[in-house]
Amino acid sequence: MYEKFKGSVNIDKKLNRTFYLRPDPVEIAKDLLGKYLVRHSDEGTTIGKIVEVEAYMGTKDAAAHSYKGVITERIRVMFGEGGHAYVYMIYGMYYCFNIVTNGLNIPYAILIRALEPIEGIGLMQRRVNKEKINQLCNGPGKLCKAMAICKSDNGIDLCGNELYLTEGERIAEENIIATPRINIDYSGPAKDYLWRFIIKDNAYLSRKR
């Protein structure tokens, strides 16, 4: 029997469109720490606290998929309205979940790199085939598997009722650490931008750097 949603997250505290439309993705990325990502599916509900993110700054950022400013089918959703999901595949087998920010034709996005499992842990364990809780969502591919996020979710409205974010927990500024982003050595000076944000001393990060 899959776990059913116990209502520990207040639906009324769902993030609205205004949160995502703000102009600075670095500010939004830091504000995402502590927020809860909620996924409802036929199997049940899974919830994770966001503990690690990376901001990508469109045409200002050589590490961003949208750096060249050319709208392709793969990245079309990045040029749309903030508050939608950008989901893509890496290595031909893992999905990555990103949150599009800002307004139309400003292709900024924030990669969610790790979650701390909050609810539906048994379901996550079955999906990922791991028992240790700190290994269920400690990486962008794992968290997508644990939360049943896949290509069909590309472009989904995060202000809807299937996949969305809630206020979660407030993280104090002194508990937020900025580091360079991961696996973007191809991007020249952009590889050193301090646009990866983590919750200090959190046990569920993808890696320490």
For the chain, give every domain's residue range: 11-199
Q: What is the token pair recorded at 152?
A: 């069909």
**Per-residue pLDDT reduced to its tens digit, 22-71:** 999 999 999 999 999 999 999 999 999 999 999 999 999 999 999 999 99
Element (H, E) at 121: helix 121-128
Query: What is the spatial distance between Cα 178 and Cα 180, in angstroms, rounded to a whole number?
Result: 7
In our burial notation (b when 16+ CB lie closer than 10 A, e otherwise), range 186-207 reads: ebeebeebebbbbbeebebbbe
**Section 158-164 average pLDDT:** 97
DSSP string, 96-107: EEEEEESSTT--
Query: What is the spatial distance between Cα 50 and Cα 199, in angstroms, rounded to a whole number?
Result: 9
Domain covering 11-199 in this structure, CATH number: 3.10.300.10
Q: What is the token pair recorded at 209?
A: 């750097």
Name the more confident of 41 and 1: 41
Query: What is the spatial distance between Cα 162 and Cα 75, in angstroms, rounded to a whole number?
Result: 22
> Residue 2 pLDDT > 80, yes or no?
no
User: How many degrees, rounded to 5, is the angle at CA 68 between CA 80 and CA 111?
Assistant: 55
Length of the chain: 209
